[in-house]
Amino acid sequence: MRDHGGNLDAAVARFGAGDWIDLSTGINRRPWPLPPLDAEVWRHLPTRAAQEALVAQAARAWGVAAPAAGVALGGAQAAIQLLPLLRRPGRAAVLGPTYNEHAASLDRAGWTVATVTDRDALHGADLAVVVNPNNPDGRTHAPAELLALAQRVGLLVVDESFADVAPELSLLPQAGRDRLLILRSFGKFYGLAGLRLGFAFGAPADIAALAQLAGPWPVSGPAIEIGRRALSDDRWAAAMRVQLAQNAARADGLARAAGWRLAGGTTLFRLYETPDARAAQDRLARHRVWSRIFPWSERLLRLGLPGPEAEWHRLAAALSP
């Protein structure tokens, strides 16, 4: 099994059950408030019109320009698993370290995959993947740099799963160009990851192929209705960006007092350099706060941001001397 955040089962197995706060992911713990849903949303198969309305609302919210096409999927993860099938397997390159499902999905589909640490090393790949902002270090790339890169590869996949907090980085206003496919997560920023909703936008031919691979009902009726309403709530999104920025600064203060150094991140998650990542994770876990460490680093720990004030008090206690 590949390691991921959100592996609360592992926390319980090691430290026992309890009232855990899962900060091992970058999922917003101040979610968009769920509305009541009509019974029909649960009883009927989603219509094509409903799916198209959801994609149209996402395009409006994120500034997607014509002639781009889009498709709603069961999370960005669903897109990651399908996109290797858009081209005949060849040479793929993933800018890392990053979310490990990109390389794994390409490898499983028969691609020859290299993980590289320099953007220029992506040049010449039949398919290249860049996560922007990157997970877990928050590394960013200007849209102009990525547009130039798209001309140097067969297909550039830009995973914008954390771009809601940095809309100036988004390539969605440029979507529709050949050689460019953009992925978006809904659940992270809106704090509703269990809904399993994500999107892909790109050239119409690529999106049509993804839609065929995904089948007729790739997203549930409740996910369509909740996603459409949330994506229309511009006021909530603007206020949440401000709130998350304040929360990130607050978390940095707590970490700094504990002797940790900020190594990167976004305003949905922070990456800290610690003297010993495993010991730091254990320290938090004793207070039933779960965090993320990485098999490729002995010092780095990723921490999501608490939501309610009680969670902040628990984190502060866990980090106190």
**pLDDT tens string 276-313:** 999 999 999 999 999 999 999 999 999 999 999 999 99
Tell me, yes or no, whether 268 and 142 share the same domain: no
Angstrom distance (rounded) from CA 245 to CA 243: 5
State the DSSP code for 310.
Answer: H
pLDDT of 68:
83
**Is residue 3 in a domain?**
no
Domain boundary among 232, 259, 284: 232
Q: Are residues 100 and 113 in the same domain?
A: yes
Residue 1 placed within a domain: no
Burial class (CB in 10 A: 0-12, 13-18, 19+), 152: middle
Residues near 227 by beta carbon (within 8 Å), at least 6 away in sequence: 54, 57, 58, 72, 186, 195, 197, 219
pLDDT in tens, 76-120: 999 999 999 999 999 999 999 999 999 999 999 999 999 999 999
pTM value is 0.96
Question: Which of 232, 247, 262 represents a domain boundary (last residue)?
Answer: 232
At 29-67, the pLDDT tens digits run 999 999 999 999 999 999 999 999 999 999 999 999 887
Whether residue 195 lies inside any domain: the answer is yes
Residues with Cβ < 8 Å from 66, sequence gap 6 or more? Answer: 176
- For residue 221, pLDDT over 80 is answered with yes
Q: Are residues 194 and 103 in the same domain?
A: yes
Q: Indicate whether 208 and 259 sit together in one domain.
A: no
Residue where a domain terminates, one of 205, 232, 259: 232
Average pLDDT for the chain? 97
Q: 29 phi and psi, to 5 degrees?
A: -90, 10
Q: Tell whether 155 and 195 lie within a shared domain.
A: yes
* Full domain range(s) for residue 246: 8-31+235-319
User: Do residues 202 and 79 share a domain?
Assistant: yes
pLDDT tens-digit map of 226-256: 999 999 999 999 999 999 999 999 999 999 9
CA nearest to 189, candidates 224, 146, 141, 239: 239
Q: Are residues 174 and 272 in the same domain?
A: no
Q: Do 161 and 68 belong to one domain?
A: yes
Question: In this model, does residue 1 exceed pLDDT 80?
Answer: no
Tell me if 15 is assigned to some domain. Answer: yes
Q: Are residues 288 and 157 in the same domain?
A: no
Contact 114, 98 (CB under 8 A): no
Average pLDDT rounded to a whole number, residues 169-179:
96
- Asked if pLDDT for residue 215 goes beyond 90, the answer is yes
**Percentage of residues of the chain with pLDDT beyond 70:** 100
Domain harbouring 254, CATH code? 3.90.1150.10
Judge if 270 and 297 occupy the same domain. yes
User: What pLDDT is recorded for position 321?
Assistant: 81
Mean pLDDT of 125-143: 98
Q: Does residue 2 lie in a domain region? A: no
Please give the structure tokens belonging to residue 249. Answer: 């600064």
Q: Are 91 and 223 contained in the same domain?
A: yes
How many independent structural domains does the chain possess? Answer: 2
Whether the pLDDT of residue 193 is over 70: the answer is yes
| 224 and 307 together in one domain | no
CATH assignment of the domain containing 184: 3.40.640.10
